[in-house]
Amino acid sequence: MSKKLTIFEMGPRDGLQNEKALIPTASKIELINRLSECGFKKIETSSFVSPKWVPQMADAAEVFAGITRKPGISYTALTPNIKGYERAKASGADEVAVFASASEGFSQKNINCSIAESFERFAPIVEAAKADGIPVRGYASCVVECPYDGPTPAQNVAMVSERLLQMGCYEVSLGDTIGAATPETTEAMLDAVLKVVPAEKLAGHFHDTKDFALANIMSSIKMGLRTFDSAIGGLGGCPYAPGAKGNVNTLAVAKMAKLLDYNTGLDIEKLEETQEFILSIKEAAAA
Ligand code: HMG
Ligand code: MG
């Protein structure tokens, strides 16, 4: 089994999308430039969603235009529909992501349509991205529990994940959107998903509401997953998932990986400095 873990940094997107106080565009740019020096290969930079739905991400184009791109890093973005894709492409996003839900309630609240309708919206994105040579990642949200529908049947997660891959996503990130998962429920969910999708095409995306995210990552590693999403400073949550806390803290994942002898390629000292930087910006914005 590989002793390499890939950490996909979510802070600038999943982290900052949920900040109540508006974070200045220049600070977002500085955060991404600092993250670029930490050793990541992928940084989710922003999202091209409706600015009315998520005002915090309204400056996505300015953020992409302002960052200093380091060769070898993919600067990625969320795209809910073809309009978002066109904006992402114009901004030079290296990779885009479509985001489906494994539960109907969250699909309606988050992107204003059913799961079936969301796949209709994703099809032209994947088609255009293929023609443009832009990789597409897929998210499946609420993989264990939905804030509106309650527990999510693992079979639904398997179905949505398989469909995302079949339509052309290179990987599916399994989102415990509200941080409800435990090692037990994570393993039960993965059991079902791994019957239809190989571990190397899956990523774990754990929010840390109950402080179980690291344990859930451990369970996922045991079941063969090697890619995990995390956010610097444990920033964030989802504005349409009440009570959701931030993604698991990048520094905590990097330290755990090091202790377990997994190579992440991340520089712990630079992560610590970057965490300090963004937490001070957050504090200043809230003051
Ligand atoms: P809608 O209102 O149904 O969209 O929203 P619409 O197509 O009817 O358009 C309404 C207006 O929005 C129009 O403008 C469109 O042009 C505009 P108007 O004519 O009224 O002036 N519009 C856009 N503008 C800019 N960029 C766009 C765009 N699309 C439409 N892409 C929509 C549907 C999907 C757009 C909306 O619901 C939305 O933006 N939702 C995104 C919500 C969001 O960002 N949630 C957080 C990210 S998901 C997450 O955090 C989970 C994840 O981390 C994994 C996990 O944890 O599980 C990924
Ligand atoms: Mg998330």
Residue 1 has pLDDT above 70, yes or no: no
**Ligand 1, residues 50, 149, 178, 207: which to mutate, most atoms within 8 A of Cβ?**
50
C-alpha 112/C-alpha 142 separation (Å) is 16
Residue 243 has pLDDT above 80, yes or no: no
pLDDT at 244: 73
pLDDT class of 270 with cuts at 50, 70, 90? very high
Share of the chain above pLDDT 70, in %: 98
Q: At what angle do helices 115-132 and 104-111 cross, to 10 degrees?
A: 60
Q: How far is the CA of 53 from the centre of ligand 1 (A)?
A: 6
Distances in Å between the Cα of 241 and the Cα atoms of 115, 142, 220, 281 are: 16, 9, 23, 24
Joined together, the tokens standing for residue 280 give: 């001070």
pLDDT class of 287 with cuts at 50, 70, 90? confident
Please state, as a whole number, how many other Cβ atoms lie within 10 Å of the Cβ of residue 131. 8
Share of the chain above pLDDT 90, in %: 92
Q: What is the mean pLDDT of residues 188-209?
A: 98
Nearest-CA residue for ligand 1 atom 43 is 110
Tell me if residue 238 is catalytic.
yes
C-alpha 208/C-alpha 6 separation (Å) is 19
CB of 212 within 6 A of ligand 1: the answer is no
Please state, as a whole number, how many other Cβ atoms lie within 10 Å of the Cβ of residue 52. 7
> What 8-state DSSP symbol labels residue 149?
T
CB of 204 within 6 A of ligand 1: the answer is no
Residue 36 has pLDDT above 80, yes or no: yes
Nearest-CA residue for ligand 1 atom 34 is 111
Contact, 135 vs 128, CB < 8 A?
no
